[in-house]
Structure 1
């Protein structure tokens, strides 16, 4: 029985193709029961690799079944046919993903960014409180509903944290995600705290929201890693960001894992808590904040370039990353964000760096 017939028997009228890989595809469908369109992820067990079937797929199904949060893509139904096909019926991001939104419309105003980032942070807190980590947080995995609210999606690399006899979460050893969103400890192949890794990715996402560009150019991983470890964050001067916003990003992009913010600290940060009325009033100036962080060196930052893509972003991971890790201090080889986005480095930025004295300005080439 073909996919359309299987779905029809379940009350779904199959629509267009949204994405396709070697062993999985995503279709749109109309649910006769729900009376609206959904996304259907179809996985063929006969074509999927063993490690995916034994580890990643069971994790994803288990976690999707337990999640219920307004800012996480809803999973309506999961079923499997006798011929080895798994069907996951999910909420459809009708307005596409956040990356396409920013590419098309540019950086978000801080008020809009605050609302969307609060939705995302609330979803991450919900997961972390359940000891679930996402490990692939990025703008492409943030879908937008009809009202442009954030819906966290793609739990293909998620897992439930394991705790030792003392109740402490054990370290992870699997690299997950894209290099542009990956924390320095992950890029170095160091066993990492998975919840702390998610926080770094949140920092990258917020930077992209308010700056409309990537905080780090991953076309040169070693150079990017060096800049990250020096705690350098470069902000485009033209965006006129408030000090509170910069401070939050700076504290999330903290290379020292013992000092990186916890999800509760993010949600209680003054910028996240700030009301719209207060946000419109003058706050800590950029000059004051930059002065406290070491000056305003002129740098260039990688920009996002608009690309023509489908209205709904769907990413299918062909192969899970291996558990094998490189030697310490050697960055892993991963797909570069710059390869898919493209960069334009023509806008000067203000640099912040932990400690004094500030280094000489350096150009981030793309």
Structure 2
């Protein structure tokens, strides 16, 4: 029996294909019970690799069943047929994903970015409070509902964190995700703190939201890693970002895992807090942000790619005079994300601000 017939018997009328990979596909369908359209993820066990079947799929199913948050895609039903196909019925992101939204409309205004980023950060706090980590945060996995609210999706690389006898979270050794969003500790192939990894990816996402381009060029992983470890983050001159926004991004893209912000610190940051919006654009131009540093004090380079948004070419920032040992090529390999495209190739380069001599180091 084909997918359409199986789903019809369960009360779903199959619509269009939304995406397809080597062993999974996603279709839209109308639910006769719910009276609205849903997304159906269909996984073929016969085609899926062993590690996916033994490790990742059971984790995803367990986690989807336990999550219930307004900014996380809802899971309505999960069932399996005798011929080894798994059907996951989920909320449909009717407005597509955030990457397509930005490619079509360009960078978001800070107020819109703040709203969406707060929704995403609230979803991540909910997960982290449950000791659940996503490990594949990227714009393609952020769906938009009919009102353009964020809905976090695709928990294929998620897991529940374990704790040791002292109550400390154990490190992860599975290096998964997409290179453009991966933290330097993951790129180096060393055991990492998964919650801290999620925070780096949040920083990349916020940069993309407000800049419309990637913070780092992942076409050369070794070069990208060197720039990341030097804590260089450059911002497009044309975007006129506020100092608070750049400060938050800079602190999330912190290569030192012990100094990178935690999710509670992100949600309490002055840029994320709606009440903090009384700061005028004039005050920002005068450098009167809440950290007492000039907006240009949050630096450095990053960048991007050929693209759909047709932005200006990026200036090459001057690297800091610092030597870093280079990782071997084999340590730079990531597990391939379950997407048909790599995000970095979808967004372009922009003109960036020159980094200041001293980045801000005050904590928010």
- TM-score normalized with structure 1 length: 0.85
Kindly provide the CA deviation profile for residues 205-228 of structure 1, in whole angstroms up to 9, marking residues without a partner as x. 000000111000011111111110
What's the counterpart of residue 182 of structure 1?
A: 182
Q: 285-294 vs 186-195, which deviates more?
A: 285-294
**What is the CA distance between 1:303 and its match in structure 2?**
5.0
Tell me, in whole angstroms, the C-alpha distance in 2 between the residues paired with 1:292 and 1:64. Answer: 41
- 1:24, 1:43 within 8 Å by CA — same for their partners in 2? yes
**Residues 253/339 of structure 1: CA separation in 2 closer, same or farther (3 Å cut):** closer
What's the counterpart of residue 107 of structure 2?
A: 107
**What is the CA distance between 1:330 and its match in structure 2?**
4.0
Tell me, in whole angstroms, the C-alpha distance in 2 between the residues paired with 1:254 and 1:235. Answer: 15
Tell me, in whole angstroms, the C-alpha distance in 1 between the residues paired with 2:248 and 2:330. Answer: 27
- 2:234, 2:352 within 8 Å by CA — same for their partners in 1? no
**Residues 28/331 of structure 1: CA separation in 2 closer, same or farther (3 Å cut):** same
- 2:141, 2:153 within 8 Å by CA — same for their partners in 1? yes
The yes-or-no answer on 1:158 pairing with 2:158 is: yes
What's the counterpart of residue 6 of structure 2?
A: 6
What's the counterpart of residue 315 of structure 1?
A: none
**Equivalent residues, number:** 335
Question: Aligned to 2:76, what secondary structure does the other structure show?
Answer: strand
What's the counterpart of residue 172 of structure 1?
A: 172
Tell me, in whole angstroms, the C-alpha distance in 1 between the residues paired with 2:244 and 2:229. Answer: 22
Q: 39-48 vs 251-260, which deviates more?
A: 39-48
Tell me, in whole angstroms, the C-alpha distance in 1 between the residues paired with 2:270 and 2:143. Answer: 26
**What is the CA distance between 1:17 and its match in structure 2?**
1.2
**What is the CA distance between 1:22 and its match in structure 2?**
2.2
Question: Aligned to 1:125, what secondary structure does the other structure show?
Answer: helix
What's the counterpart of residue 285 of structure 1?
A: 285
- 1:231, 1:354 within 8 Å by CA — same for their partners in 2? no
Tell me, in whole angstroms, the C-alpha distance in 2 between the residues paired with 1:255 and 1:300. Answer: 14
Question: Aligned to 2:271, what secondary structure does the other structure show?
Answer: helix
Kindly provide the CA deviation profile for residues 115-161 of structure 1, in whole angstroms up to 9, marking residues without a partner as x. 00000000000000000000000001000000000000000000000
- 1:19, 1:25 within 8 Å by CA — same for their partners in 2? yes
Tell me, in whole angstroms, the C-alpha distance in 1 between the residues paired with 2:278 and 2:190. Answer: 41
The yes-or-no answer on 1:347 pairing with 2:351 is: yes
What's the counterpart of residue 226 of structure 1?
A: 226
Kindly provide the CA deviation profile for residues 152-209 of structure 1, in whole angstroms up to 9, marking residues without a partner as x. 0000000000100000000001111111100000000110000000000000000000
Question: Aligned to 1:95, what secondary structure does the other structure show?
Answer: coil
Kindly provide the CA deviation profile for residues 217-265 of structure 1, in whole angstroms up to 9, marking residues without a partner as x. 0111111111100100000111111110010000000000000000000
**Residues 37/280 of structure 1: CA separation in 2 closer, same or farther (3 Å cut):** farther
- 1:303, 1:342 within 8 Å by CA — same for their partners in 2? yes
What's the counterpart of residue 317 of structure 1?
A: none
What's the counterpart of residue 97 of structure 1?
A: 97
**Residues 329/266 of structure 1: CA separation in 2 closer, same or farther (3 Å cut):** farther
What's the counterpart of residue 63 of structure 1?
A: 63
- 2:175, 2:335 within 8 Å by CA — same for their partners in 1? no
**Residues 156/291 of structure 1: CA separation in 2 closer, same or farther (3 Å cut):** closer
**What is the CA distance between 1:4 and its match in structure 2?**
1.1
Unaligned residue ranges in structure 2 (runs of 5+): 288-292, 310-326
Tell me, in whole angstroms, the C-alpha distance in 2 between the residues paired with 1:33 and 1:339. Answer: 36
**What is the CA distance between 1:103 and its match in structure 2?**
0.7
Tell me, in whole angstroms, the C-alpha distance in 2 between the residues paired with 1:58 and 1:231. Answer: 37
Q: 135-144 vs 275-284, which deviates more?
A: 275-284
- 1:242, 1:286 within 8 Å by CA — same for their partners in 2? no
RMSD over equivalenced CA pairs, Å: 2.5
Tell me, in whole angstroms, the C-alpha distance in 2 between the residues paired with 1:82 and 1:142. Answer: 32
- 1:304, 1:342 within 8 Å by CA — same for their partners in 2? yes
Tell me, in whole angstroms, the C-alpha distance in 1 between the residues paired with 2:106 and 2:304. Answer: 14
- 1:303, 1:343 within 8 Å by CA — same for their partners in 2? yes
**What is the CA distance between 1:113 and its match in structure 2?**
0.3
Unaligned residue ranges in structure 1 (runs of 5+): 308-325, 357-366
- TM-score normalized with structure 2 length: 0.86
RCO higher in structure (CA 8 A, sep ≥6): 1
Tell me, in whole angstroms, the C-alpha distance in 2 between the residues paired with 1:109 and 1:205. Answer: 14
Question: Aligned to 2:171, what secondary structure does the other structure show?
Answer: coil
* Equivalent residue for 1:302, pick from 301, 304, 315: 304
**Residues 348/196 of structure 1: CA separation in 2 closer, same or farther (3 Å cut):** closer
